[in-house]
Amino acid sequence: MTFFEPSTWEGKLFSGGWRGSAHSAPVREPATGGEIGRYGVASVDDVASAGAVAAQAQRDWELVPADAKSAILRRAGDLFTERASVMQDWLMREAGSGGGKAAFEAGLVASEFYFAAATAQMPYGQLLRSSRPRLSMARRRAVGTVGVISPFNFPGILTARSVAPALALGNAVILKPDPRTSISGGLIFAAILEEAGLPEGLFHVLPGGADVGGALVDEPSVRVISFTGSTQAGRIVGERAGRLLKRAHLELGGNNALVVLDDVDVEAAASAGAWGSFLHQGQICMTTGRHLVQERVYDEYVECLAAKAKHIPTGNPLEGAPLGPIIDAHQLAKVDAIVQDSVAAGAVLAAGGTHQDLFYDATVLADVAPGHRAFAEEIFGPVAPVTRFSSIDELVELATSSDYGLSLGILSKDAYRALELSERIPSGIVHINDQTVDDEAVAPFGGVGASGTGARFGGHEANIEAFTETQWVTVQADIARYPF
């Protein structure tokens, strides 16, 4: 039987196995607008049912030896590698990903599971000194059930980086993928983990809307929420979880600066800048949202960046186009409004600014000022706003004027000068002589300010901190004597 046939998942949820749903919704292909399948829509009651099943299954899973957990996760990684073409196809059709982006994402999903297999076998505590004659230690225990809410833009990676380590550390997981990417960000994970031998009841996929997300946050058995999405939605999730005394790990938006100093190779800098702004139509939290360019090379940089933008074709990713569709009409309208408002306020359209259907042309805005929407807001579209600066102090003021603090790129022939400059600009991620978009399973990932609550993804340390609780344990040979 072919892997992931529609008969497996069409109109279904994954919760205690594949089962039908009372309601279904279409899977839309943004490039064509066509319906390419139907997924089961979860209800609030489904969340409660999943919570009860997950809590029971988790108690047994936590007791499974680490090497056995690792074996299942390695098998999942192998399956994601073997089935990479299936994942890539769904990413291109459902999320509008270009072929290169889809291949990169599918590969990183596999690496997340391989890395999680190693996390399962990491040391899980430390011995503590004590003033008394006893063994004193701190050990990490699974939190229980983790709720994961993942977005549409990199649905594979942004699901895997929470699901894989949470399972590795002994937890059950209830996943609510974005409804627009319920397959590549949800149901395909269920099929892989089922085939890999994950025990039934540990992993649930419940596609749905805000009501399902809210129920997942409220569900008593869910003790940690791992959320990736917009800052606006993240504030709501964080506030709701806080009232319930739950941890919420929030990886939110960004308005990331790429700093171009005047000693650069301008052609190379513009190439990096184009990739940072236009990859996956700019629909990435790490997208280069502000190009801050020193005045001596400003005009040359704008000219070079605009030339590159004009030569990037839009179209259906399945036909080889590098720039695919915006995810939906609502998002496209937001992108276009920011561009048009910024031009009306004085920005200069150097390239693009036009669209056909959901295909928005790669756009370069020159002479962007701090008061323009294109400077102040996260655009989430293929738009490169370029702002000039003269002194380093002016640069620092521009770079730090944003509430966001996710990723920062600095381009300069003097790498150590750039590294020193980075210390003046708060950011969760810094890339010297690279653009702002990058990710690896082994690297801590997270932002500051309006970009989230810090690095709670990537690397053993961050994952263990995210998905376990600390328990203090003491052991002594005899019962302690007290004066009472």
pTM of the shown model = 0.95
Burial class (CB in 10 A: 0-12, 13-18, 19+), 275: middle
Q: Establish how many alpha carbons lie within 13 A of residue 406's alpha carbon, considering only the half-sphere containing its beta carbon.
A: 30
pLDDT tens string, the chain, 484 residues long: the values are 578 999 999 999 999 999 999 999 999 999 999 999 999 999 999 999 999 999 999 999 999 999 999 999 999 999 999 999 999 999 999 999 999 999 999 999 999 999 999 999 999 999 999 999 999 999 999 999 999 999 999 999 999 999 999 999 999 999 999 999 999 999 999 999 999 999 999 999 999 999 999 999 999 999 999 999 999 999 999 999 999 999 999 999 999 999 999 999 999 999 999 999 999 999 999 999 999 999 999 999 999 999 999 999 999 999 999 999 999 999 999 999 999 999 999 999 999 999 999 999 999 999 999 999 999 999 999 999 999 999 999 999 999 999 999 999 999 999 999 999 999 999 999 999 999 999 998 998 999 999 998 877 888 999 999 999 999 999 999 999 999 9
Task: Tell me whether residue 94 is one of the annotated catalytic residues.
Answer: no
Structural domains in the chain plus CATH codes: 6-252+452-473 (3.40.605.10), 256-432 (3.40.309.10)
Quote the CA–CA distance of 441 and 477 in Å, as a whole number: 43
381 in Cβ contact with 361 (< 8 Å): no
* Catalytic residue chosen out of the listed positions 29, 285, 304, 378: 285
Quote the CA–CA distance of 365 and 375 in Å, as a whole number: 10
Quote the CA–CA distance of 337 and 323 in Å, as a whole number: 20
Task: Tell me whether residue 285 is one of the annotated catalytic residues.
Answer: yes
Q: What share of the chain is helix, strand, coil (3-state, %, to 5)?
A: 40, 25, 35
* Catalytic residue chosen out of the listed positions 251, 304, 377, 378: 251
